[in-house]
Amino acid sequence: MKQILYSAIILGLLFIPSCVSVKQMPVGPKPGEKWRAIHLLNYTNDALLDSLSNKIPLLAEKGVNVIFLEVDYSFDFKSHPELRQGPSFITKSGAEKFSEVCRDNNIKLVIEFQCFGHQSWAKKTFPLLTVYPDLDLTKGAYPNNDSIYCREWDPYNPKVNKIVYSLIDELVDAFDVDGIHVGMDEVFLINDKFAASTKDKNPAEVYAKVVNDLYDHITKQRHLQMYMWGDRLIDGTKLNMGAWEASQNGTYPAIDLIPKDIIVCDWHYDLRDEYSSVPMFLSKGFRVLPTSWKNKEASNKLIEYSKQFNDPKMLGHLFSFWNGSIDSMMNSQAMNEGLKLLVKK
């Protein structure tokens, strides 16, 4: 009887219609294995993704097992084609192809879409606030983005979430990923005098509202892992980390107002005696992915500092690359030496 049942199962599997999709096996770090991650920017169209794909096997050989790919508006959006950025962008087929290359090399892929802040760079305002200027938190102020770091969207305009959720859904589905990084770093305009909807509100509550709104859609509804940068959740005065890699504008109490199953990417780029935000995040219950940049000594120090915490919530390390060519990334001393430190006992 068992043999008959077994044969029937095998025959059934053989005749699964080709239109039925089979869930992909998990890729990337195994349970308990350290995350050896990189964050990449400026791969904004299919041709650039193809050039990156050629390096994926070499990255895997070096030990990389997670890639965070920041896409933002550089995608062939169908729900809002008016928000495509640039003369060329990533297509759905290009996203599928890149995702497959990562999967074939056992690299976990996470997509990033910058939320709330970073809606401009220098004089250039990005598509959401260019096409829909009524969604700008400081609408009509700061022509040419003078005197501000980056523009931010209005978290109290209901039109924002409706649009952004559609964009996030398209990216997640095209790249076939199980998580998305929402950015949320370096938000400075909540209590700006021109921020009509937020200037009189508690900055931590405003910030937490954005995080929780995104979490409700990404994790509660889509059952996806949510990642974010950690700087706005750090008391910059108490931990002596300044106004950039930590908060001095009142957002840090939001750390107690948001879900603890969000993975926090805790970035620190300069050499310090200690990185006290790391144990702080762990003590609050967050999983943490400490993040470095191009300073080799600072990167090594952050890795060694983080390794002292024998906590399963300490995931590993993220090497960020904010500029430079593919070859400069492959030859990065910070990454290459850091990867070796991560596997060293």
Domains of the chain (ranges, CATH numbers): 34-343 (3.20.20.80)
Contact assessment for residue 264 and residue 288, using Cβ atoms and an 8 Å cutoff: yes
Q: What is the mean pLDDT of the chain?
A: 93
Question: Worst-scoring range by mean pLDDT, 14-18, 105-109, 140-144?
Answer: 14-18
Residue 319 pLDDT > 70: yes
Residue 13 pLDDT > 60: no
Side-chain-side CA neighbours of residue 227 (13 Å): 25
Of 203, 282, 201, the closest CA to residue 247 belongs to 203
Residue 19 pLDDT > 80: no
Contact assessment for residue 135 and residue 157, using Cβ atoms and an 8 Å cutoff: yes
Report the alpha-carbon angle 340-276-245, nearest 5: 85
pLDDT at 24: 60
pLDDT at 318: 98
pLDDT tens digits, one per residue of 208-261 = 999 999 999 999 999 999 999 999 999 999 999 999 999 999 999 999 999 999
pLDDT tens digits, one per residue of 302-314 = 999 999 999 999 9
pLDDT tens digits, one per residue of 28-63 = 999 999 999 999 999 999 999 999 999 999 999 999
Q: How much is the average pLDDT of 185-193?
A: 98
pLDDT at 273: 93
Residue 20 pLDDT > 90: no
pLDDT at 344: 81
Dihedral of the alpha carbons of 294, 99, 167, 186, in degrees to the nearest 10: -10
Report the alpha-carbon angle 10-176-180, nearest 5: 135
What is the pTM assigned to this prediction? Answer: 0.92
Contact assessment for residue 233 and residue 247, using Cβ atoms and an 8 Å cutoff: yes
pLDDT confidence of 155, banded at 50, 70, 90?
A: very high
Residue 22 pLDDT > 70: no
Residue 15 pLDDT > 50: no
Of 147, 207, 150, the closest CA to residue 182 belongs to 207
174 phi and psi, to 5 degrees?
-65, -45
pLDDT at 325: 87
pLDDT at 26: 83
